[in-house]
Amino acid sequence: MIGTGFMGRVHSHAWQSVSSFFDLPRRVEPTIVCGRDQAKTVAFAEQWRWPSSTVESSRLLVDEPIDLVDLVTPNHLHAEHALAALEAGKHVACEKPLAGTLADARVMAEAACLHPRQRTFVWFNYRRCPAIALAHRLVNEKRLGRIFHLRATYLQDWGGQETPHSWRFQADVAGSGAHGDLNAHLVDLARFITGDEIVEVNGAIEAMFIKTRRRDGNVKHRRSTVDDAVLFLARFSRGIIASFEATRLATGNRNRNSIEINGEKGSLRFDFERMNELQWWDQTLDPEVQGWSSIHCTHATHPYVRSYWPPGHGLGYEHTFINQAADMVGVLARRKPLVPLADFEDAYQTQRVLECAIQAARNRCAVKMSEIQ
């Protein structure tokens, strides 16, 4: 694994835990972790039980026993490490968004095509909430019928003036702010659940509210160069109209990743702050018994749940990563994943939508996806 920040902790936990919950076709052995600071990397390895550590990423690429390289670095480094790993014959798992820029994302997708023996994965972990996986199944089974509307919001409130500067507020490192960090998840979920593709962004707004941020432990401030919020409207190929909103300044919303889909036969809605529930409206019922019902997605028949606890004992954020780790290991053993996984090409298509929205916001016009390559 390359990277030792917040996502490094999450991924480490997943790799250490996945064999305890799932009957896997291949053995999982966390082997070596790579970071930038030697002392911090050694401490990280000790805490998260990595047998070895290094500050030289090349060590991961020349080590023959390593099958998979997991990338949890800042976004601008994804392409560099992914291309090197593919060239070295390794499978690659990469955090989202796929890259800091659309150009880098395109190069990564093209490189994956040139190395068909190597599998690529992108950590769109919310696909692996049992409730979201169930939503995907219900739509795939045509339980909603024709879909009319989709509205998706990802609201967080940690990005206020008191938040110190970090790489996430540097455009040359992160690529974007709330847009790439949060809208990437929304676009992926919308494409994943509906099985449809966005063809046009009809309107968008990009906003930066906090212009400068203090450096941690320092009174001096540094300029922020990323968006704090991005909203846009979109149309899908089969006529679905959709709205997307991502912000880090929605006070009172800690991690409100939510999506609602309205169809001719029913509707569903999901809110990650209540991640074990899926709200469902069945339009085919008699009007006197129609109403929103809450499906508590903790039964063994719900996706992934049989690997964990008895009904009613909910899962958490970390389990979405464990679920994805299990599916990735299965794919590497030629087993079909429980829920489809995003690869570099899939994540590139999501990044094209993000770029389309930014172009629409900055040029104040509608932009067709065919214009974004």
Tens of pLDDT along the chain (373 residues) come to: 999 999 999 999 999 999 999 999 999 999 999 999 999 999 999 999 999 999 999 888 887 789 999 999 999 999 999 999 999 999 999 999 999 999 999 999 999 999 999 999 999 999 999 999 999 999 999 999 999 999 999 999 999 999 999 999 999 999 999 999 999 999 999 999 999 999 999 999 999 999 999 987 666 789 999 999 999 999 999 999 999 999 999 999 999 999 999 999 999 999 999 999 999 999 999 999 999 999 999 999 999 999 999 999 999 999 999 999 999 999 999 999 999 999 999 999 999 999 999 999 999 999 999 999 8
> CA quadruple 30, 35, 37, 40: dihedral positive or negative?
negative
Tokens of 320: 């979405």
Other beta carbons less than 10 A from residue 162's beta carbon: 9
Q: What is the dihedral of CA 59, 65, 68, 70, to 10 degrees?
A: -40
pTM over 0.95, yes/no: yes
Structure tokens at 139: 């739509």
Residue of 155, 214, 222, 207 whose CA lies nearest to 176: 207
In the CATH scheme, what is the code of domain 6-125? Answer: 3.40.50.720
* 129-311+342-363 homologous superfamily: Dihydrodipicolinate Reductase; domain 2 (3.30.360.10)
Q: What residue segments make up the domains of the chain, in order of their start?
A: 6-125, 129-311+342-363
pLDDT at residue 62, as a whole number: 84
Q: Residue 224, SS3?
A: coil
**Residue 59: predicted pLDDT:** 84
So what's the pLDDT on residue 42?
A: 98
pLDDT at 219: 66
Q: Tell the residue number behind the tokens 């990564």, with chain if given.
A: 108
Q: What is the per-residue pLDDT across 238-263, written as a single tens digit (0 to 9) for each?
A: 999 999 999 999 999 999 999 999 99
CB atoms within 10 A of CB 174: 21
- CA–CA separation, 323 and 325 (whole Å): 5
